[in-house]
């Protein structure tokens, strides 16, 4: 099959052996039990570090999706390795993981790209980016035959995020869900990281995407995929969704025991 994006971080961020990968994800999902079910979900926030560190937080978000009747997952990812202006939709037909292929919703991709001059079909941002890929094995384990719309945000300037939010609000329906892929603060002491990450948590819990955008712009907090969270929440508001809940917040020190320099992780759900 041509135009298939091959795995770039299998064997690094998550296991490349199929049996080990399935066992790993099943164990994480079993450990991330929700205190309630969410029926009308607009989207979730999920981290994208290596599974030993952020997998448990991610599992909470995917246990939300497990209960939903959805056909397409729109994945919003920051670009860690390539700068470009605007938002890049993968222009191929599928992403491959050790668990098989996830087909791109190509009809939706064409429609979405036509909604803004800042949204386009391209390989830009997709070649080696891990923040989309790390979500996919989880998605495959909770949803059979789901399609994806992988979107990498090359520049998180407000003009591009606002354009993304507006376009998302025009394509969302009950058969689609958004996954905003992000980690939080990087390489601070645990106490400092906890303070910075609590700002993100507060703004999501309060459904205050304007303050989140402002604090990210002014560097009062850190989230590499913060623009994706803002775009998702802004689109959700436009579509009549106004509830949010933090599902999990952890950091790498909880696993490694090294609290001198940690990375923060969070999962959340946006619902009606």
Main-chain phi, psi angles of 15, to 5 degrees: -65, 145
Nearest-angstrom CA–CA distance, 184 and 48: 10
Alpha helices in the chain (DSSP H): 18-31, 51-66, 106-113, 130-133, 136-142, 158-171, 190-205, 209-217, 226-238, 253-256
What is each CA distance from 72 to 69, 104, 242, in whole angstroms? 10, 9, 21
Are 264 and 191 in contact, with CB atoms under 8 Å apart? Answer: no
**Whether the model pTM is above 0.85:** yes
Note the CATH architecture for domain 4-271. Answer: 3-Layer(aba) Sandwich (3.40)
What is the domain partition of the chain in residue ranges?
4-271
Percent of the chain beyond pLDDT 90? 99
Of the candidates 111, 232, 112, 252, which has an alpha carbon nearest to the alpha carbon of residue 183?
252
Give pLDDT tens digits along the chain (272 positions): 469 999 999 999 999 999 999 999 999 999 999 999 998 999 999 999 999 999 999 999 999 999 899 999 999 999 999 999 999 999 999 999 999 999 999 999 999 999 999 999 999 999 999 999 999 999 999 999 999 999 999 999 999 999 999 999 999 999 999 999 999 999 999 999 999 999 999 999 999 999 999 999 999 999 999 999 999 999 999 999 999 999 999 999 999 999 999 999 999 999 99
Neighbours of 36 (CB within 10 A): 8
d(C-alpha 174, C-alpha 155), whole Å: 29
Helices 226-238, 158-171: axis angle to 10 degrees equals 40
DSSP class of residue 10 equals B
**Over the stretch 171-230, which tens digit does the pLDDT of each residue have?**
999 999 999 999 999 999 999 999 999 999 999 999 999 999 999 999 999 999 999 999
């Amino acid at each position: 099959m041509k135009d298939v994006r091959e795995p770039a971080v299998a064997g690094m961020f998550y296991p490349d052996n199929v049996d080990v990968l399935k066992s790993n994800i099943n164990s994480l999902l079993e450990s991330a039990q929700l205190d309630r079910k969410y029926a009308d979900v607009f989207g979730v926030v999920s981290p994208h570090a290596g599974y030993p560190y952020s997998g448990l937080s991610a599992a909470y978000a995917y246990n939300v999706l497990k209960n939903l009747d959805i056909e397409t997952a729109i994945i919003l990812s920051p670009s860690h390795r390539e700068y470009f202006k605007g938002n890049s939709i993968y222009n191929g037909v599928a992403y491959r993981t050790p668990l098989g292929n996830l087909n791109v919703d190509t009809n939706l991709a064409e429609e979405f790209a036509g909604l803004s001059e800042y949204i386009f079909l391209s390989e830009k941002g997709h070649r080696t980016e891990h923040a989309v890929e790390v979500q996919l094995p989880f998605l495959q384990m909770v949803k059979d035959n789901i399609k994806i719309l992988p979107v990498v945000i090359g520049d998180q300037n407000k003009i591009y995020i606002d354009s993304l939010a507006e376009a998302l609000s025009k394509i969302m329906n009950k058969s689609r869900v958004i996954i905003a892929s992000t980690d939080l603060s990087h390489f601070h002491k645990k106490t400092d990281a906890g303070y910075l990450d609590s700002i993100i948590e507060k703004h999501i819990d309060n459904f205050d995407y304007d303050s989140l955008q402002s604090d990210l712009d002014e560097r009062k907090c850190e989230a590499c995929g913060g623009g994706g969270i803002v775009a998702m929440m802004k689109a959700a508001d436009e579509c009549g969704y106004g509830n949010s809940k933090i599902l999990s917040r952890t950091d790498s020190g909880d696993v490694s025991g090294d609290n001198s320099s940690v990375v923060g992780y969070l999962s959340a759900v946006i619902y009606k």
